[in-house]
Amino acid sequence: MIIQPTSLAAQLWAGAAAGTTAAADSWRVGALLSARVMGQNELGKLLLEIGGLTVEADTAGTQLPQQFQVRVLTQGAQPQLEVVLGNTDERVAMQGLRERLPQQNGYAPLLGILAALARRPIARALPAPLRAALATLEAAINKPADVSSPLGMKEAIAKSGTFLEAHLAEPRRETPAADDFKAALLALRRTLAEIPAGRPGAPTLSRPLSDTPPPLAQRSLVAQPRAAELAVTEDDVDGLVNQLRSDTRAALSRVEIAQLESHPHTGLWMIEVPVAGVRGYDVLQLRIEEGETAPGEQEGPWTVGFAIDPPSLGAVQGEIQLRTPRVAVRLWAQHVETVSRLENEFMSLRRLLEKSGLVLDHFTCMHGLPASTSAYSAVLLEARA
């Protein structure tokens, strides 16, 4: 099916073709663009958002999905767009990843600013709405006690941002939970957008470059260290606001990549949980996967990969594999002292598992971090008679 935008779209396209909008490059012939239905105008024509432009088109008698893709066939005053059907969900997800991957970064830069503001007087110089939005974000970060129990960890995962839209889709749930991390990031982004631009040319703050690998399902987890704390003063307000805009956009892109990489229908979830530590914040990365149920079993195996890098321990990664009632735990630690500390907790871990009716079948803790190749090591927990 071909969509040919009408007058409003032609005007917008003319601007894009002239290079006066950021969409000019993306509307080249053959390009695939994401599209969604926005509604109808007073003339009954369909309003669409395509490749960042709001267009209208006459599609009488045609049913379009809420989200789809189009391919640019011709340019000009009235470009022709071909609706690309097929596996719409997969195509939309791939387009979403392509858009967000260049923008994403780890949470550490944003959390580093939050930690610095808690100890520096510059926070008083920020606009009141921004201080309130930052306080909301801080309230959405888990305390160590929150993640030290099964119920607390379950709640921390639920409010990590990965499940925000799913929670909003629940009956009688019209507003996001106040402590959902993505909801707090969205509120912070809205607040930053409403703050007037500072003095012309105000730079972002100087800091070491950070390029944290994205949370992709096919890649192994990589522990995220804290960012170096910024030394900011009240003269840096404009630069700080600019930096917050950049870091908030990067964090939101990262949450949405984790959402796109989670596949509940196949039993795979990519989750990141921010945790308050001593004088700063850490990020617990999780990859939770449910295996297929074998004949004669009531449920399949579960595998949880995790990575975290608190200053007190250094980088720690692990795999927890459960095939009820047996559990296997494999840990890797960056520092030798951390290996000893974790091995000293072996008996405590065994007793905790036994209270839950589980058997610790295998436990190892190795010095050094695993190679970043596939998602998990080749050693799998086997059920034993």
**Tens digit of pLDDT for each residue in 271-295?**
999 999 888 999 999 999 998 877 7
Query: CATH classification of 291-385, choosing from 3.30.750, 3.20.20, 2.40.10, 3.40.50?
Result: 3.30.750
The rounded mean pLDDT for the chain is 81
When mean pLDDT is compared across 81-85, 280-284, 373-377, the lowest value belongs to 373-377
- Global pTM reads 0.72
pLDDT of residue 239: 84
**Tens digit of pLDDT for each residue in 36-69?**
777 777 777 778 878 767 777 776 556 677 677 7
- State the sign of the Cα–Cα–Cα–Cα dihedral 212, 224, 237, 127: positive
The 8 Å CB, 24+ separation contacts for 191-194 are: 191/129, 191/130, 191/132, 191/133, 192/130, 192/133, 192/241, 192/244, 192/245, 192/248, 194/129
Instruction: Give the mean pLDDT of 106-131.
Output: 90
**Is the pLDDT score of 33 beyond 60?**
yes
Picking from 28, 202, 231, 1, the residue whose alpha carbon sits closest to that of residue 117 is 231
Instruction: Give the mean pLDDT of 120-125.
Output: 84
pLDDT of residue 3: 62
Q: Which helix (H) or strand (E) holds 339?
A: helix 336-343
**Tens digit of pLDDT for each residue in 236-260?**
788 888 899 999 999 999 999 999 9
How do beta strands 302-308 and 326-333 pair? unpaired
Provide the Cα torsion 371, 374, 375, 380; round to 10°. Answer: -90
- State the sign of the Cα–Cα–Cα–Cα dihedral 355, 358, 362, 366: negative
When mean pLDDT is compared across 266-280, 301-315, 364-378, the lowest value belongs to 364-378
Starting at the earlier edge strand, list the strands of the sheet with 359-367. 268-277, 280-290, 302-308, 316-323, 326-333, 359-367
